[in-house]
Structure 1
Amino acid sequence: MRIILWAGLAALAVDQICKYVVIHMMELARIRSIDVLPPLLNFRYGENRGINFGLFGGGSEASRIILSTLAVLLCIAILWWARKNAQTTLAKISAGFLIGGALANVLDRLLYGYVLDFLNVSCCGINNPFVFNTADIFIFAGALGLVIFAEDGRGGAKAKGGKKPRKPIV
């Protein structure tokens, strides 16, 4: 559980530090746009009142509370699952990243009323209009890591051999 805690705290801290530096110190909230490595990486100011890509983002107080509550419940469920099922170190780190990223976005909702987004990536002549943040990266990496590294609850055959054990035909 300590690994999950430290990975989660690291994800939350990295996200909040990045947001503070880019949004406040670099004044992205005022400037609105900074080209870092165009077109691959740009900073674009965004206020996300919904979930990914602004879905369900009516901006109401009720939606903010509902989304924050769902994120906290998801974090509790992941912690419960990881505690109940022995997991590899990489799975625990992944769980911590997912939890830390989710809680970082909840903290944004509590502090600002919305999630601060600032990263924009485009490539190959495609102009991506969407922005995201480092918490979203931790959430995605954590979820992917859990898919790849988590034990399946049946002795860990999935992680060790790549295939689930078959039941004998009786």
Structure 2
Amino acid sequence: MLKACSVAAGESAAKRSLRWFTIALIVIVLDQLTKIYFNGSYQYGEQREVIPAVLNFTLLYNPGAAFSFLAGAGGWQKFFFTGLAFAVSGWLGWHIVKGSFSCLMNLAASFIIGGALGNVIDRLIHGHVIDFIQVHWQQSWYYPAFNVADSFICVGAALMVLDSLRKPQH
């Protein structure tokens, strides 16, 4: 990853940016491959225990946003969240190309772009996002199901916070 942060003499902004957009593309591909697997190998609602009392794989569909926020809103939310994902991805991508981000922030942006666009693909193709990771504690507490894209978005957001804590504010 350190190599992606170093800038060779005379390297164009496009070539430097391509490294970060490649990471975003890898996130999208990984996300879509896992969703294809689970959507084709599981029945809707089916749960398979991975780690007893802690982790299941399950197939669930989320027409809303994180934690099924606005899932029952009537359909407009699909367009809203798709537009929001494109807007945020565009803004982050613009800053990557512009070179205004630190190395850690570029990585965070790449993760968020890849995760956001991975979920956009689901919304456009299926009308909902495919979720399959279910963390829980025994049978008493269940965290909302999520997917690889959601995981990368969360890690990207955490890296953004870490980056903001590392730099003095102007």
TM-score between the two structures when normalised by the length of structure 2: 0.80
Q: Please name the residue that 1:18 is paired with.
A: 34
- Distance in structure 2 (CA, Å) of the matches to 1:33 and 1:101: 24
Q: 1:66 to 1:163 in 2, by over 3 A?
A: closer
Answer whether contact 1:15 1:104 (CA < 8 A) is retained: yes
Q: Which runs of no fewer than 5 residues in structure 1 stay unpaired?
A: 151-157, 166-170
Q: Which amino acid aligns with 1:55?
A: F
- Distance in structure 1 (CA, Å) of the matches to 2:163 and 2:19: 15
Q: Which amino acid aligns with 1:104?
A: G
| 1:139 corresponds to which of 153, 158, 163 | 153
Is 1:80–2:61 an aligned residue pair? no
Q: Which amino acid aligns with 2:82?
A: S
| 2:50 corresponds to which of 36, 40, 44 | 36
Q: Please name the residue that 1:71 is paired with.
A: 85
Q: Please name the residue that 2:4 is paired with.
A: none
| 1:110 corresponds to which of 114, 124, 137 | 124
Is 1:130–2:144 an aligned residue pair? yes
CA RMSD of aligned residues (A): 2.2
Q: Which amino acid aligns with 2:103?
A: T
Instruction: State the shift of 1:44 in Å.
Output: 1.7
Deviates more, 1:120-129 or 1:44-53: 120-129
TM-score between the two structures when normalised by the length of structure 1: 0.80
- Distance in structure 2 (CA, Å) of the matches to 1:29 and 1:59: 25
Instruction: State the shift of 1:63 in Å.
Output: 2.1
For residues 61-100 of structure 1, the C-alpha deviation after alignment (integer angstroms, 9 at most, x for no partner) is 4221121111111111112233345333232121111000
Is 1:48–2:62 an aligned residue pair? yes
Task: Note the 1:147-158 alignment, pairs <5 A.
Answer: 147-149=161-163
Task: Note the 1:89-104 alignment, pairs <5 A.
Answer: 89-104=103-118
Answer whether contact 1:100 1:135 (CA < 8 A) is retained: yes
- The number of aligned residues is 154
For residues 122-145 of structure 1, the C-alpha deviation after alignment (integer angstroms, 9 at most, x for no partner) is 236642152111100000011111
Instruction: State the shift of 1:164 in Å.
Output: 4.1
Q: Which runs of no fewer than 5 residues in structure 2 stay unpaired?
A: 1-16
Q: Which amino acid aligns with 1:128?
A: Y
- Distance in structure 2 (CA, Å) of the matches to 1:129 and 1:88: 33
Answer whether contact 2:44 2:60 (CA < 8 A) is retained: no
Who wins on radius of gyration, i.e. which is larger? 1
Percent identity between matched residues is: 29
For residues 134-170 of structure 1, the C-alpha deviation after alignment (integer angstroms, 9 at most, x for no partner) is 10000001111122136xxxxxxx64xx5447xxxxx
What secondary structure does 2:130 align onto? strand
Answer whether contact 1:105 1:135 (CA < 8 A) is retained: yes
